[in-house]
Amino acid sequence: RVYSPEELHKKAEAEKVRRLAEAESAIAPLARAVKLNIATDEEIKRLEAWELYSVMVNRVDTSKLDWPDKPAINDWQD
């Protein structure tokens, strides 16, 4: 099946919403740890990476898809 430009745009917008929700789900507990002054250095780095990812996803023009890479969990392990 070939999708119309409108269908592709709707699919891209849905993907953007999904990615932003995933980022917010990762950010919430990390931000809480920072707020409570109990975050580890690793958690602070993960929070910064997820917040950057969230901003970059939010900036994606869904008519010209160029998704940023999601932060990798393994990047934060020693």
Which own/partner contact pairs does 17-23 have at CB distance under 8 Å and 24+ positions apart?
19/57, 19/67, 19/70, 20/54, 20/57, 20/58, 22/70, 23/50, 23/51, 23/53, 23/54, 23/57
Residue indicated by tokens 């002054």: 37
Identify the domain containing residue 54 by its residue range. Answer: 5-63
User: 75 in a domain, yes or no?
Assistant: no
User: 26 in a domain, yes or no?
Assistant: yes
Residues 26-76: tens digit of each pLDDT: 999 999 999 999 999 999 999 999 999 999 999 999 988 889 999 987 665
User: 41 in a domain, yes or no?
Assistant: yes
Overall domain count for the chain: 1
Report pTM. Answer: 0.85
Helical pair 5-35 and 41-58, crossing angle rounded to 10 deg: 150
